[in-house]
Amino acid sequence: MTEVTLPRVLSALGDPVRLQVVRVLSDGAEHLRADFPRAVADSTLSHHMKTLREAGVIFSRPEGTRCYVSLRSELDDRFPGLLRAVLDADANSAEAGSASAFC
């Protein structure tokens, strides 16, 4: 894995699909393909998973033909509260409906 830095983590989180993936994983459990957005093509999702993996956000565990995905606990050790703040902001954003420009 490449070096884990805050800019890389933020950049990895800076995408709507990747935020959805992280929200699914935020329960702390391992998840399979079926738990992630179905509207996203497998190849596209794989690309997003790779970005999150390389940024140190997620961990993939292959088992037979399955791939279990989870959040890396080290992320919260390294940047305490960051993911929670991002997910809270994401929730507020979703509640507010479509985003409006500031000016």
Kindly state the number of chain residues that form the binding site for a copy of itself, as judged by CB under 8 A. 40
Among 28, 62, 80, 97, binds a copy of itself (CB under 8 A): 80
Among 6, 29, 32, 41, the residue binding a copy of itself under the rule CB under 8 A is: 6
Q: What does the DSSP assignment read for 10-31?
A: HHHH-SHHHHHHHHHHTTSS-B
Q: Which stretch binds a copy of itself (CB under 8 A): 23-31, 38-46, 61-69, 92-100?
A: 92-100
Q: Which residue has the tokens 């033909």?
A: 65
Q: Is 89 left (phi over 0), alpha (psi -120 to 50) or beta?
A: alpha
Distance between CA 30 and CA 74 in Å, rounded?
A: 15
Contact residues for a copy of itself, defined by CB under 8 A:
1-16, 18-19, 56, 72, 74, 78-82, 84-86, 88-90, 92-93, 96, 99-103
